[in-house]
Structures are given as C-alpha cells and as structure tokens.
Amino acid sequence: MFRTPFRNITIFFALTLPAFANEPMPPLFNDLNVAARESYAAARALALKSDQPVFLVTDTVTLIRGEDLGSLPYTPPIYHYLKSISHLPLGVYSASIGQIESPTDERWMERLRTLLKQVNSTETELARASFTELQRVRQQDILSLSRTYLEEVLTREKTDMASVNIYARKIAPLLLANAADAASVQVDALDQAVRELSEKLKPGEFEKAVAVITGPKTPREGNLQFQYFVFAFGSGSAGTRVLYMESIFDRDAALNVLKTVLNDREASQAFFGEKYRLERDLMADGATVELMRRFGYLGTQPNK
C-alpha cells in the first residue's frame, strides 16, 4: 500500500510572537512589529512568480502560471453513483447504532424506514447508471443485503450489535470494491485533465510545477489527489512540490497560503540554511527543550 506523510500547510506568520493578555505591548514595539509584518506581507505577494506553474486542485484542477491557463473537471458521474450507493450501508449502520443507544427515540426507526424506501426506489434506477455488468451486480448485492437487514430490524422493531456487525462484515468487501472502482475512474479522469492542461506548459515547466490540494481539516491518509501528484512529480515531492492545504477550499485563499509557504522557504534558507524550518513553529526547538527540562526528562540539572 502506498503511504506518504502529509505535510499540512496552515496559515502562519513567521514573525508572530506570543501575546500576553495582562501585558499590553508597548506602542514602540507594536509599531516595529506592524512595520515588519507589512514588509513581510508585501514580499509574500511577490513570492508566486509569474513563471511558476501551479496545479490547484479543488473539485476541478486548474493550471495557473501568472494567469489561469485552463480548468477541467476530473470526477465522472459513475464516481458519484458508486459513492452514493456505498453511503447506504454507512447510513444503515449509523441509524442502527442510534436505535441501540436510544431505543425510545422513534426517529431512529423512522430513519431506517426511510432507508428501506430508498433501497426500493434505487433498485428501479440501477439500469439508468453507466455501470459495467460486474458493477451493476455488486450494487444489487449491496441493496439486497441492506433490504434483508432493514426488513428484519423493522419487523422486530429493534436491532442489536451482533446483527449490525454481521451486516457490516458481509457488506464490507462490496464497499471496498466500489471504492477501488471509484478511485480508478477518478485517477483516470484526473490524469487526462492534468495531461491536457500540461500541454500548455513550455518544455521543462512541468518539472518545476507545484500542486496545491485543498481539502478538509483532517486529511485522510492516502488522499487520491495528493497521491496522484506525488506519483506524477516523483520521489521527494510530497510536502515539497505537492502541498495539502487543510480547511481551505477557496482559490484565492489557497494561493495566498502558497505565497506564504514559498516566501517562508526563501527566508528560512537565508536565516537557517534549512529550507523548511519555518514550516515548524519557530519556538518548537526551544519549547521542546524547556518542556523536557520542566517535566524531568533531562535528569537532575546542576544549580546555576
């Protein structure tokens, strides 16, 4: 299994110092800080050079080099079909757990009834989706196993953990197969989109391009878009040329963070001879030493 560590990029300022609620900052120091921060922000605006290619990945993939060179979708309809049907067992499981934990709350049984109705209506629509025969049979199996379980629960008007677990284990291989198919079609579409956009780059520009992946605060390990660009850019690109920006979905916000990252890397190299030092808290090393001392991890210290 491909595993790569995420370097999560969050908005930070290299010149930030701790604030103390009961100790107002003297106006002289505040003016100094404001002036330094203003220079920092102005330089950051210049960090993204007009000749720097950037693949910005949201629900589309956009190629930017000074200006937008194009934007393409990369999620085909069958991806959504597979995902929607795969959500059914998760909904059934969740409503079942709710019924077990709150058996007097009728809303859980009503949710299970609603899911059963959706199973019946979805079966009639399977033929409309562009499934292969193997995929169609798999979706039918998911619906059939779910119907059998739901009908039993609704007849008994209750469920239990043993029944929930049996249902979940039976359906798990089908969910994994759907996930594999969804990944395959999305990777194929993403690859086609990136290759088409890359035709607008000059020779050698792809080799210096960066990719910015936007996503939720807690990225799932193995994020498809992140993995794709790590493979496309090659070894060592994770966290250097391929960046995951958490809780950012807006294009301008993502580019502003990228400018911060690029600016900080240049400053970090100049100050510390280490390109990525400012992607760790500037106080990190001092904090570690102080905390180890304070909590006794450094042994007995001689009296000063």
Model confidence at 251, pLDDT cuts 50, 70, 90, reads confident
Q: Between 215 and 153, whose confidence is greater?
A: 153
Q: Between 214 and 13, whose confidence is greater?
A: 214
Model confidence at 114, pLDDT cuts 50, 70, 90, reads very high
**pLDDT (0 to 100) of residue 25:** 56
Q: Which bin fits 301, alpha (ψ -120 to 50), beta or left (φ > 0)?
A: beta
Phi, psi torsion values for 261, nearest 5 degrees: -60, -50
Distances (CA, A) of 30 to 25, 26, 44, 96: 6, 6, 21, 57
Lowest-pLDDT range, 5-14, 36-45, 177-186?
Answer: 5-14
Q: Count, in order, helices (H) and strands (E) of the chain.
A: 8, 6
**pLDDT (0 to 100) of residue 110:** 97
Average pLDDT score over residue span 31-60: 89
| CB contact at 8 A, 261 and 8 | no
DSSP 57-69: ESSEEEEEESEEE
Q: pLDDT, tens digit, for every residue of 273-293?
A: 999 898 889 999 999 999 998
> Would you report the helix, strand and coil content of the chain in percent, each value rounded to 5?
60, 10, 30
Residues 145, 147: Cα–Cα separation, whole Å: 5
Q: Between 52 and 16, whose confidence is greater?
A: 52
**pLDDT (0 to 100) of residue 47:** 82
Q: Between 8 and 133, whose confidence is greater?
A: 133
Q: Is the pLDDT of residue 2 over 50?
A: no
**pLDDT (0 to 100) of residue 33:** 87
Model confidence at 10, pLDDT cuts 50, 70, 90, reads very low
| CB contact at 8 A, 43 and 263 | yes
Average pLDDT of the chain, as a whole number: 89
Please list, residue by residue across 281-304, b when 16 or more beta carbons sit within 10 angstroms of its beta carbon and e when fewer do. Answer: ebeeeeeeeeeeeeeeeeeeeeee
Question: Which residue in the block uniquely carries the two structure tokens 């960066």?
Answer: 210
Average pLDDT score over residue span 37-41: 89
**pLDDT (0 to 100) of residue 5:** 45
**pLDDT (0 to 100) of residue 131:** 96
Q: Is 12 exposed, middle or buried (0-12, 13-18, 19+ CB in 10 A)?
A: middle
| CB contact at 8 A, 167 and 149 | yes
Q: Is the pLDDT of residue 205 over 60?
A: yes
| DSSP label at residue 202 | P
Half-sphere exposure of 157 (CA within 13 A, CB side): 3
Residues 193, 196: Cα–Cα separation, whole Å: 5
Q: Between 216 and 90, whose confidence is greater?
A: 90
Q: Is the pLDDT of residue 13 over 90?
A: no
Could you tell me what percent of the chain has a pLDDT over 90? 68
DSSP 269-281: HHHHS-TTGGGS-
Q: Is the pLDDT of residue 94 over 60?
A: yes
**pLDDT (0 to 100) of residue 8:** 53
